Amino acid sequence: MSDFHAGFACFVGRPNAGKSTLTNALVGTKVAITSSKPQTTRHTVRGIVHRPDAQLVLVDTPGLHKPRTLLGERLNDLVRTTWSEVDVVALCVPADEPVGRGDRFIADEIAGLKKKNVLAIVTKTDLVDKKRLAEQLLAVSQLGEFAEIVPVSAKAGDQVDLLADLLAKYLPESPPLYPDGELTDEPEMVMVAELIREAALEGVRDELPHSLAVVVEEMEPREGRDDLLDVHATVFVERPSQKAIVLGAGGERIKHVGSTSRRQIEALLGTRVFLDLRVKVAKDWQRDPRQLRRLGF
């Protein structure tokens, strides 16, 4: 086993740079929720890639951003703590957006990390032509000193295997860190809450995503039935007007959220699920330390 490598790699980048989609593509299954809304990821999600020669533990972090709330500050602290603990840091920059202030800010922060292997990944290459991609690779190369710069499309599967090879190359020699076959160390209740939040985020207006939080209050097999799991969860918002949006006319929206997330939860857990969803207002929870604690931040 002396030639086996294992360790942690962390994807960083501004919100919506494709970090979660890339994590899922490398792991080969969904471990991180994705959404077209920025700042979908709210905690570090670990996805585990098993290879004959290496075990790569991918840490998908929230997007680093200018915080406007206590939640935002805590998410940024989480990102920086993660950087300091991993073996490889990979900066994700989307191919279809110009390199901007946010990318430069993160690249400068990473440059301050001593003794770290730092890679750059140009994501979403399926959205641009060859000329635009070449320009973006050049622009990214000017952001700092990178061990490698890799263009990747997680959606099309382009160069995903090559990226896994490169990340594995920078891991230390080590026996596996997780049992074979384990794909994430996320607790099931957290993953279930995230799947509900993902369904609730689809199609909502821009001001709502940051105000949505989901807590699974209870998850247990129904009495006398081992083929049915009862899941009771609460969707928290910050204002009554947001509650109305999440519920929808005549409760139509929340019904749709329930049926969509229930299918995903059943696929994740491999069992039939009865899902009971409530919507509650927790006033300005993003700014309130006590409520943040209660909601798991």
- Dihedrals φ, ψ of 218, to 5°? -155, 140
Lowest mean pLDDT among 62-71, 206-215, 253-262: 62-71
Residue 131 marked ligand-binding = no
Residue 13 marked ligand-binding = yes
Residue 77 marked ligand-binding = no
Residue 271 marked ligand-binding = no
Tens digits of per-residue pLDDT, 267-283? Answer: 777 788 899 999 998 88
pLDDT average, residue stretch 2-9: 86
Residue 126 marked ligand-binding = yes
Residue 41 marked ligand-binding = no
Q: How much is the pLDDT for 186?
A: 63
Q: How much is the pLDDT for 255?
A: 92
Spatial distance between the Cα atoms of 180 and 51, rounded to a whole number of angstroms: 10
Residue 129 marked ligand-binding = no
Residue 123 marked ligand-binding = yes
pTM of the model: 0.61
Tens digits of per-residue pLDDT, 98-122? Answer: 999 989 988 988 887 766 789 999 9
Residue 187 marked ligand-binding = no
Spatial distance between the Cα atoms of 55 and 41, rounded to a whole number of angstroms: 23
Residue 19 marked ligand-binding = yes
Residue 125 marked ligand-binding = yes
Greater confidence (265 vs 43) lies with: 265
Residue 270 marked ligand-binding = no
Greater confidence (75 vs 177) lies with: 177
